[in-house]
Amino acid sequence: MLGARVQLKGWQQAAVAFGSAFGALLDPRRADLIATLGEITGKPAFERVLQRMKNSAEGREVLLERPRVISSQVSHAWDMPQNTFGAAYAQFMRSRNFSPDDRPPVRFMDTDELAYVATRAREVHDFWHVLFGLPTNLIGETALKVIEFEQMFLPMCMLSVVGGSARFSEKQRTLFVQHYFPWAAKAGLKCTDLISVYYEEHFHEDLEEVRRNWGILPCPSPKKSSV
């Protein structure tokens, strides 16, 4: 079940967006504020994503069945054989002590359908970490935001890239500009329309095979280790 929707007038949306942006700037760890800002500023982009999903056979299946990346629906990934996409996802979550249930609910979309699309975009984030082989540190998250922007054109993704870059050390910034950003810019354009993929139906498949099928270009190891 999706979170309860909140209907806002134009000036209210602007006020919420400003408050969320200011709060997130003061404390970048506030995932709820970042998510709210993404919803308020991303409605036109989510509408385009919805149309793309409707134009895809697999995307239409996702919209029809509305799978959720929550413990009760993806726990079978933990039982998948080694080298499968599902096993790689389970290992990713287990090694970081992450839970699929930790993401804040979508609240500011105008329709149930758009709310689901925004929820889906939020919940497949960790699948993309696994597929692209990106760490969950600041530099890895910022690189993934480049790919997310190229895939969905959400303004918040680009704002996150700018915000993340501003928090880099000099060494991290050099590594990002010379290694991660060029790779992410290429990878985001090379792969399939990832928001339309029904990931849960591919848990049993070999990780490298799904990467090939979806045109995924995993992140190569940088010549110099990140900090």
Query: Where is the binding site for Zn(2+), in residues?
Result: 125-126, 129, 141
Query: Coil, helix or strand for 100?
Result: coil
Q: What is the mean pLDDT of the chain?
A: 87
85 lies in some domain? yes
Annotated binding site: 125-126, 129, 141
Query: pLDDT by residue (tens digit) across 207-221?
Result: 999 999 999 999 999
User: Domain containing 138: what range?
Assistant: 42-214
Q: What number is the average pLDDT over the span 60-75? A: 98
Q: CB-based contacts of 127: which residues, under 8 Å, 6+ apart? A: 69, 89, 199
pLDDT at residue 68, as a whole number: 98
Residue 153 is encoded by which pair of tokens?
């054109």
Average pLDDT, integer, range 115-119:
96
Measured CA distances, 170 to 30, 131, 145, 175, 177 (Å) = 24, 28, 20, 9, 11
210 domain-assigned: yes
- Distance from C-alpha of 210 to C-alpha of 200, rounded to nearest angstrom: 12
What is the pLDDT, as a whole number, of residue 16?
A: 46
Residue located via tokens 């990346």: 69
Question: Does the structure show a pLDDT above 90 at 225?
Answer: no
The per-residue pLDDT for 14 is 47
Q: What is the mean pLDDT of residues 67-71?
A: 98
The answer to whether residue 34 sits within a structural domain is: no
* 195 assigned to some structural domain: yes
Residue 111, token pair as written in the block: 């329709």
Pick the closest to residue 192 from 215, 164, 221 (CA basis). 215
Residue 37 and residue 116: Cα distance in Å, rounded?
17
Q: Is residue 19 part of a domain?
A: no
Would 167 be classed as within a structural domain? yes
How does pLDDT run across 137-186, given as a tens digit for each residue?
Answer: 999 999 999 999 999 999 888 888 888 888 899 999 999 999 999 999 99
Q: What is the mean pLDDT of residues 94-116?
A: 92
At residue 1, does pLDDT exceed 90? no
**Total domains, the chain:** 1
Instruction: Give residue 155's pLDDT.
Output: 87
The predicted structure's pLDDT at residue 34: 64
> For 26-59, what is each residue's pLDDT tens digit?
444 455 656 666 677 779 999 999 999 999 999 9
3-state secondary structure of 206: strand
Long-range contacts of 27-34 (CB under 8 A, 24+ apart): 28/163, 28/167, 31/103, 31/104, 32/104, 34/156, 34/160
Q: How many CB atoms lie within 10 A of CB 79?
A: 11
Q: Is residue 75 part of a domain?
A: yes
Residue 24 to residues 2, 14, 102, 148, 163, Cα–Cα distance (Å): 24, 15, 18, 19, 10
List, as own/partner pairs, every contact residues 22-28 make where C-beta atoms lie below 8 angstroms and the sequence separation is at least 24, other chains included.
24/163, 25/163, 28/163, 28/167
The whole-angstrom separation of Cα 122 and Cα 88 is: 19
- Furthest-apart CA atoms within the chain: distance in Å: 52
Is 7 within the bounds of a domain? no
Question: What burial class does residue 131 get, using C-beta atoms within 10 Å of its C-beta: 0-12 exposed, 13-18 middle, 19+ buried?
Answer: buried
